[in-house]
Amino acid sequence: MVAGVAAFVSWLGASLVVLGDGRRALALGVLLATAGMTVIAWQTAGPLAAAAIAGGGAVAAARRFSSGADGWRIMPPGSTPRLVLCIAGGLIVLWIAAAVTTGPGASLRFTVMVVAGFSGARVLASDNASVLLTATSLLALVVALAGAFADGSGLWTYLAAALIAAGVGWLPQRTARAG
């Protein structure tokens, strides 16, 4: 039950990162996704891995809250495809995690697929630097969480992901221009 709620919270946070353009929405999205991933990491990899994910996500969320576009900016004009991605993508991933694949750990599979998929889609679809850095932070954390599928991934994976997630927010916020 707890793992299912944590997976839902992760989906909600990743959806906020997809649907929001303002720093408040992005920070809350990172916080929610991190909270869900922390619970999943605690159950699958132990308290030290969970603490690393929580710390990296908290620093990433705090940094995002202090920089970026003002306000919430949830579902700005033209964001209907993002809403469809959040709903349809969440349902498809839930179906894959719960019905298609077998064995324990459906909440871990759901969380990894939904956060990685939504963050990757946001990286590819956005040209806003703060959104790109936020999605990259979540990608780093979820890649470490995916290490829970393999036994013995160790604490170093989680610590490296936490450092990357925390450090990405300090990169200069400019958009690359060709030419």
Whether 178 shows a pLDDT value over 70: the answer reads no
pLDDT band at 149 (very low <50, low <70, confident <90, very high): confident
Min mean pLDDT across 52-56, 57-61, 155-159 is at: 155-159
pLDDT at position 67 is 81
Most confident listed range (15-19, 90-94, 105-109): 15-19
d(CA 51, CA 55): 6
d(CA 124, CA 118): 10
Looking at the chain, the number of H-run helices and the number of E-run strands are: 7, 0
Q: Specify the length of the chain in residues.
A: 179
pLDDT at position 12 is 94
Q: Output 100 or 87, whichever has higher pLDDT.
A: 87
Residue 18 Cα distances to 43, 46, 86, 98, 118, angstroms: 26, 29, 8, 23, 7
Q: Other C-beta atoms within 10 Å of 39: how many?
A: 22
d(CA 176, CA 82): 23
> Roughly how many angstroms between the first and final C-alpha of the chain, as a whole number?
53
pLDDT at position 137 is 95
Work out the percent of the chain whose per-residue pLDDT is above 70. Answer: 93
Indicate yes or no: pTM above 0.85: yes
